[in-house]
């Protein structure tokens, strides 16, 4: 018995000594680690916000060190961040960071997390004049808080909490947010990260003048991802997934409801060569109803392959340099301006563009589909590009060398169009079931008849189909082969016939 007690006592003393030594070591290392973290954060913020025309930065204001803990004060400043449509954001808020020294911070010990770490950071937004309203809406608790553990090997694990917020304004506008939990882990350089989070509910009610209110309700938000840096600076590979269990929008004089169950966005990006990157984005819309009546389901997949990463980065920098000119034209309602470039800039721009096109990139809408109870319509389109012999060629020759292949197909389901015609009739208040059925059956047949008469499509069973394939200067349109010039004349004639004057 005495032997066991002695062993336990010795173990306790050893842990105490290790904790004291670790705390002293952490205290010595911490200032440099914090300065490095601030520098890295500012570099990442600069890259992330470069297209907004503004800036955001973090500044360490003070550092008060004790043996087992440290208190740091920061300022987060945003200047002239352009959100679009003339909306600019500026703010200056404070953050307090209570840092527990390792190797065994008490907050982790209480949670039975006994792996040693260098430090645990407990950061919260400070209350001041700029954030007082946000604190009030959050029941006077910190609207944003985070706990971050820094491992001795450089690993970082954070738990970020957005507090529940409820706001009711005198004009009828309101906001009810259940709060959100987000967990992030990775290395301290930000070269690899995993994250996942969820929020139960977000409800916003907007009232404008004498118009009926509009209500937006989101339920069951989930977000997750796994990203890794590449040798190409701002290019990351991995996946980012977002899902909403239910989306409900109520609007209009009759307070009609648009309800979507199952809304997803899945993004995947990967290197498909030493210097090229490709990506794929998939959108899904689950069961959709309008005013209590079934509408259908939708899906879209967009992909990009063989994009030269260094060239893309160089062209992005060129765009960022001329962003003020583009924004000024957009604000004035003018078309994209002609950018004046000297010979050196023009040569650099064309060289980067040639490098991008030399990789023969391809853009595709792999599948755009809409499905109702009785049918499904689909559309796909792909375009392949190449570098031309010269950018100074006449437009017709330049386009032929620039675009090497175009392939697309549209398939409209006649039963699907009938379902949509039925929905429209019911929403319009029609009650004669026989008349609605006749109108619906005629809708698809009428589209098929017009397609055949115009030559823009063919009919294959219950589908109205139009296909196009361009390669080597020739066009195959619904099985008819012709030159590009002949195809352009054909489409111009069809469009003229479809115009009101025609």
In a domain, 368, yes or no: no
What is d(CA 226, CA 56) in angstroms, rounded to the nearest whole number? 25
In a domain, 97, yes or no: yes
In a domain, 196, yes or no: no
SS3 10: helix
**Boundary (domain end) residue, out of 134, 159, 184:** 159
DSSP state of 464: E
In a domain, 485, yes or no: yes
**Boundary (domain end) residue, out of 130, 159, 188:** 159
What is d(CA 52, CA 340) in angstroms, rounded to the nearest whole number? 22
The helix (run of H) or strand (run of E) holding residue 489 is: helix 484-498
**Boundary (domain end) residue, out of 159, 180, 198:** 159
For residue 62, how many C-alpha atoms fall within 13 Å in the half-sphere facing its CB? 8
In a domain, 402, yes or no: no
Predicted TM-score (pTM) of the model is 0.82
In a domain, 41, yes or no: yes
- Which of these, 268, 194, 271, 187, lies nearest to 231 by C-alpha position? 271
- Looking at the DSSP assignment, which residues form a beta bridge with residue 264? 243, 284
Q: Quote the Cα angle for 371-247-379, to 5°.
A: 25
Along the 502 residues of the chain, how does pLDDT read in single tens digits?
444 434 344 333 333 434 344 444 455 667 777 777 788 778 877 776 766 667 888 888 888 877 778 888 988 888 877 666 667 778 888 889 888 877 777 777 777 777 777 788 888 989 988 889 889 999 999 999 988 888 877 788 889 999 999 998 888 899 999 999 999 888 877 788 899 999 999 999 999 877 889 999 999 999 999 999 888 877 889 999 999 999 999 988 888 899 999 999 999 999 988 899 999 999 999 999 998 889 999 999 999 999 999 999 888 888 877 877 777 777 777 777 778 888 899 899 999 999 999 999 999 999 999 999 999 999 999 999 999 999 889 988 888 899 999 999 999 999 998 888 888 888 777 877 788 788 877 777 787 787 777 778 888 888 999 999 999 889 999 989 999 888 888 888 876 766 555 4
DSSP state of 9: H
Q: How many domains does the chain have?
A: 2
Cis bond upstream, residue 237 (ω within 30): no
What is d(CA 186, CA 148) in angstroms, rounded to the nearest whole number? 11
Residue 180 near residue 210 (C-beta atoms within 8 A): no
What is d(CA 263, CA 261) in angstroms, rounded to the nearest whole number? 6
Q: Which domain holds residue 434?
A: 410-498
How many Cβ atoms are within 10 Å of 132's Cβ, its own excluded? 11
In a domain, 460, yes or no: yes
In a domain, 389, yes or no: no
């Amino acid at each position: 018995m005495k032997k066991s007690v002695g062993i336990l006592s010795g173990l306790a003393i050893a842990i105490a000594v290790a904790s004291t030594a670790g705390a002293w070591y952490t205290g010595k290392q911490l200032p440099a680690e914090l300065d490095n973290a601030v520098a890295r954060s500012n570099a990442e913020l600069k890259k992330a916000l470069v297209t907004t025309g503004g800036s955001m930065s973090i500044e360490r204001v003070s550092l008060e060190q004790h043996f087992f803990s440290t208190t740091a004060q920061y300022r987060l400043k945003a200047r002239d961040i352009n959100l679009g449509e003339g909306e600019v954001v500026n703010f200056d808020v404070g953050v307090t960071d209570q840092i527990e020294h390792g190797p065994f911070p008490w907050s982790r010990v209480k949670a039975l997390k006994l792996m040693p770490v260098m430090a645990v950071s407990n950061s919260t937004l400070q209350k001041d004049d700029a954030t007082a309203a946000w604190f009030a809406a959050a029941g006077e608790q910190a609207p944003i808080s985070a706990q971050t553990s820094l491992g001795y090997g450089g690993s970082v694990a954070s738990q970020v909490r957005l507090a529940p917020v409820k706001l009711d304004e005198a004009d009828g506008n309101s906001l009810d947010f259940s709060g959100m939990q987000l967990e992030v882990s990775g290395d301290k350089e930000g070269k690899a990260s995993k994250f996942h989070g969820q929020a139960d509910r977000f409800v916003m009610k907007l009232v404008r003048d004498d118009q009926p209110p509009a209500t937006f309700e989101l339920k069951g938000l989930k977000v997750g991802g796994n990203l890794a840096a590449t040798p190409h600076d701002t290019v990351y590979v991995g996946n980012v997934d977002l899902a909403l269990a239910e989306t409900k929008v109520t609007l209009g004089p009759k307070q009609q409801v648009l309800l979507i169950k199952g809304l997803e966005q899945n993004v995947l990006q990967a290197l498909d060569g030493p210097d090229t990157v490709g990506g794929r984005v998939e959108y899904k819309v689950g069961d959709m109803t309008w005013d209590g009546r079934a509408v259908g389901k939708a899906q879209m997949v967009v992909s990009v392959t063989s994009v030269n990463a260094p060239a893309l980065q160089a062209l992005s920098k060129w765009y960022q340099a001329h962003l003020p000119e583009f924004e000024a034209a957009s604000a004035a309602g003018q078309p994209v301006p002609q950018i004046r470039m000297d010979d050196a800039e023009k040569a650099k721009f064309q060289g980067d563009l040639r490098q991008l096109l030399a990789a023969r990139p391809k853009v595709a809408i792999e599948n755009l589909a809409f499905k109702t109870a009785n049918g499904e319509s689909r559309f796909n389109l792909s375009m392949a590009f190449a570098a031309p012999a010269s950018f100074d060629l006449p437009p017709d020759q330049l386009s032929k060398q620039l675009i090497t292949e175009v392939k697309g197909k549209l398939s409209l389901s006649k039963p699907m169009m009938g379902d949509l015609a039925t929905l429209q009739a019911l929403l319009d208040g029609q009650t004669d079931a026989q008349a609605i059925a006749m109108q619906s059956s005629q809708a698809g047949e009428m589209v098929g008849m017009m397609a055949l008469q115009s030559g823009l499509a063919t009919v294959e069973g219950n589908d109205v189909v139009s296909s196009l394939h361009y390669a080597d200067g020739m066009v195959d349109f619904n099985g008819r082969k012709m030159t590009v010039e002949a195809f352009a004349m054909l489409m111009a004639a069809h469009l003229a016939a479809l115009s009101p004057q025609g």
